[in-house]
Chains A and B, each alone.
Chain A
Amino acid sequence: MNIANLIKIALKALANNKMRGFLTMLGIIIGVASVITMLAIGQGSKKSIQSQISEMGSNMIMIQPGADMRGGVRQSASAMETLKLADYENIAVETRYLAAVSPTVNSSGQVIYGANNKPSTIYGVNQDYLEIRRYSIGDGNMFTEQDITSAAKVCVVGKTVVDELFTNGENPIGKIIRFNKIPFTIVGILTNKGYNSMGMDQDDIILAPFTTIQKRVLAITHLQGINASAIKEEYTEQAISEIADILRRNHKLKPDDDDDFTIRSMEELSSMMTSTMNILTVLLASVAGISLLVGGIGIMNIMYVSVTERTREIGLRMSIGAKGVDILSQFLIESILISVTGGLIGVLLGVLLSLLVNFGINFPIYIQAWSILLSFGVCTLTGIFFGWYPAKKAAQLDPIEAIRFE
C-alpha cells in the first residue's frame, strides 16, 4: 500500500478518536515545547554573557591585589595594598604581549554641578583605559600625560553624567563639577556606549588621572588594581604569565610563596561562563528531553491499546489481502503522525513560550534552527521507536484469531 493511502488511513483512525489522539499528542507537545524553550533560554543567556564579555573587551586582563580567594575568607587590609605604582610601571615597560595598561583606583560619591547632583563613581586611570574598556572621546579631549604627572583636577565624563548634571543644555567642556567637594574640570566627553547586556549603564562614568584620585580623593599610594589589554585574545595566557613573573619579582616572593595578587582575564571568565552555560543548557534540555521520552511512552501505550481495540480490523485487513508489512506500516505511520503533529504543535508552542519569556520577563532568549530540527527529529524518532513494538505486534497477529477477537 502506498504512503498516501497509509496516511489517509492513519488520519481517519485519529479522526475517529480525536480526544485520545490529542491527549497522546499532549505528551509530545509538552516535551518538544519545553526542549525548545529550555534551549532558547540556555542559549540566550550564553549569548548574552558572551556579548557582554566582548563589549567589555575579550582580551582584557584584570590584576587585583590579594591572593586568589574566590568565595574564601576576607583578607586583611594590608594584603589588599600589594599593588604599587612600580608594579604598573614595570608591567607597562617590560611585557611584550600587552597593548595597553592602566592603573585603577576608584571612589564612589556624589557629583555636584550647580543645583544638580547625582551619585556616581569616579575612576582614576590613565589614557590606556579608553582602549582597554573600548571607550572613545566624543567631545573635547582625554586628559594628558602632563595631567597625570601633576595630578591635575581634570576629568572625562560619560553621557549620563552630562545629562543629569547639565540639565539646561550648556556645553559641559571647561565646566567644573565637584566630586566629594573636590572640583574637577571637564576636559572631554565619552561617546555613548549605552547599556551593557546586564542592564548596566556604561555611560554613567567619570574618568580622572589615577594620580589625582590617589592623592586628592583617596589619599593612598597603592593601586586598587591594574587593567590591561593583551595585543590579541590568543596572547592572553602569555601576557598573564609575564605579568605574574614581574609581580612576583617586584614583591620579592619566594618560589613556594603564594601569589599576593590575582590575575583574571576575560578570556578565562568567558570560557568559564560559556562552559557553565553549556552545562546549564544540557541540564535544562535533558529535563525537557525526559518529558519527550515520557511523551513517547504515552504513544506506545496508546498504540498498544489501539492495536488491541482494532484486532478485528487487523484480522479483516489481513484476510482481504493486507500483508504483515502493510499492517506494520499502517500503525507505524499512525504513531509517527501523532508524534510529528505533536512535534509541530510543540515547536510552535515552544517558540511562542520563548518569545513570551523574552517579552514578558525580559529574559534573553536565542532560538537556534538546530534546536527546532533536533526536537522535531527526536520526536519523529520517538514515534518510530515507540510505535514499532505495537505495530510489530499488530503485524504478527494471526488473521484467523484476530478476526474472531471479541
Chain B
Amino acid sequence: MKTENIHTHNSPASPSPKGARGKEIIRLEHIARDFHVGDEVVHALRDVSFTIREGEFVTIMGSSGSGKSTLLNTLGCLDTPTRGEYYLDGTSVRTMGKNSRATLRNRKIGFVFQSYNLLPKTTAIENVELPLLYNPSYNASSRKQKAIESLKAVGLGDRLNHRSNQMSGGQMQRVAIARALVNDPAVILADEATGNLDTRTSYDILVLFQRLHAEGRTIIFVTHNPEISTYSGRNILLKDGRVVADTENNTIQSAAEAFAKLPVEED
C-alpha cells in the first residue's frame, strides 16, 4: 500500500488536499463549458477549479452526462472552455490557436481512449511511433527506438511487430498506453480506459497504471466505475458539471493484489 501520495496545496483556486510535492501541471480556474443545442444551452461544465501536481494519480468520477468527457477534452486541449482559465504546465491554453494546441497536445499530453483507437493493420511499433511523427525533432531511428522503449515499459517487448488485429483487447490497450507514453507527456489522460475490457484485463491495465504512477507519471483517469477510485490517490467527483467532491485517498489499494485474488477464468 502506498502512502507517499500526500498533497500539499497553496493555490487558493484549488480545493485539493494539502501535502503534495511536485510542480503544478494542471490548473483550472472557474472553467465553464456551454453547448448550444438549438435554443437551449447545455452547461456541461460549471465553474470547475482544481490543481493537479506532478506525480498525482487522479480519478475523475461521475455518472453519465456529468461532464467527465468534456472536462477531459478540456484538459487534453481538444476543447476550449467557454469561460475560465486553464494552465497546462505553466502555459495558458485559453488564448491558444488550433495549431498551437495541436503542438501542445503532441508534447504534453498522452491520451488513452476507451476503444484503443489503434490504426488498423498496423504494427505495435508503428502505432506507438505515431505521436513522434508529428514532432520534427525525432528522426526515423530515434522514433523507433523510443517506441520500442515505450512498448517494453508496458510489457509488450515481445509483441513489437504484431499488428493491431493480431492482439487481444488488453494488448491493444497496452499499445495505446505505450503510445501515450512515447512523447514523455506531462500528463496521461485516460477516458474509461478499462471500459471495454473484462474484469481480469481491467485489473491488469490498472496494475500497469499504478506502476506508471509509481515511476512518477501524472495520470488522470476518467471512469464511472467507483471501484477504480480505490486504486488512485485522489478522487474528483463530478455532478451536473460541478466538482462536488475532491478527496484524498489515503488507503490506496494495490491493483496487483486485487488481480492476484481474482478467480482464474476458465477458457
Contacts and interface: CB of A to CB of B under 8 A. Distances in A.
A323 B131 contact: no
A1 B133 contact: yes
Contacts of B106: 320-321
A77 B73 CA distance: 98
Contact of B133 (A5, A400, A403): A5
B135 A319 contact: no
Interface in B75-132: 76, 78-79, 98-99, 102-103, 105-107, 111, 113, 117, 119-122, 130-131
A131 interface: no
Interface string B164-192: 00000000000000010001000000000
B73 A320 contact: no
A316 B110 CA distance: 11
Contacts of A321: 102-103, 105-107, 131, 134-135, 183
Contact of A317 (B99, B121, B130): B130
B111 A400 contact: no
Contacts of A319: 76, 78, 105, 111
Interface residues of A, number: 22
Nearest to B127: A316
B73 A1 contact: no
B136 interface: yes
A76 interface: no
B99 A324 contact: yes
Contact of B117 (A312, A322, A324, A400): A312
A16 B119 CA distance: 11
A75 interface: no
B79 to A, nearest CB: 6
A319 B102 CA distance: 7
Interface in A369-406: 399-400, 403
Interface string B55-82: 0000000000000000001001011000
Interface string A9-27: 0001000100000000000
A233 interface: no
Given A1-B133, A400-B78, A403-B113, A320 B105 contact: yes
A323 B99 CA distance: 6
B130 A400 contact: no
Contacts of A1: 133-134
Contacts of B119: 313, 316
Contact of A400 (B73, B98, B103): B73
A273 to B, nearest CB: 58
Contacts of A318: 78, 102
Given A1-B133, A2-B136, A323 B117 contact: no
B131 A320 contact: yes
Contacts of A399: 78
Contact of A323 (B78, B98, B122): B98
Interface residues of B, number: 26
Contacts of B103: 321, 323
Contacts, number: 56
B173 to A, nearest CB: 14
A321 B102 CA distance: 4
A326 interface: yes
A16 B120 contact: yes
Contacts of B134: 1, 317, 320-323, 326
B113 A320 contact: no
Contacts of B131: 320-321
Contacts of A317: 130, 134
A315 B105 CA distance: 13
A230 to B, nearest CB: 70
Contacts of A403: 113, 117
B79 A400 contact: yes
Contacts of B121: 16
Interface in A281-334: 312-313, 315-326
Nearest to A406: B115
Contacts of B179: 320
Nearest to B104: A321
Nearest to B105: A321
A322 B104 CA distance: 10
A324 B102 CA distance: 9
Contacts of A312: 117
A324 B136 contact: no
A353 to B, nearest CB: 36
Contacts of A315: 117
A322 B73 contact: no
Contacts of B130: 316-317, 320
A5 B126 CA distance: 12
A281 B99 CA distance: 49
A325 B120 CA distance: 23
Sorted nearest first, the 10 A-B pairs with minimum C-beta distance are A321-B106, A321-B134, A320-B131, A323-B102, A316-B117, A323-B99, A321-B105, A400-B78, A319-B111, A399-B78
Given A320-B111, A321-B103, A322-B134, 11 more contacts: A317-B134, A319-B78, A320-B134, A321-B105, A323-B99, A323-B103, A324-B98, A324-B99, A326-B134, A400-B78, A403-B113
25 contacts: A1-B134, A2-B136, A5-B133, A313-B119, A315-B117, A316-B113, A316-B119, A317-B130, A317-B134, A319-B105, A320-B105, A320-B111, A320-B131, A320-B134, A321-B103, A321-B106, A321-B134, A321-B135, A323-B99, A323-B102, A323-B103, A325-B99, A326-B134, A400-B73, A403-B117
Interface of A: 1-2, 5, 12, 16, 312-313, 315-326, 399-400, 403
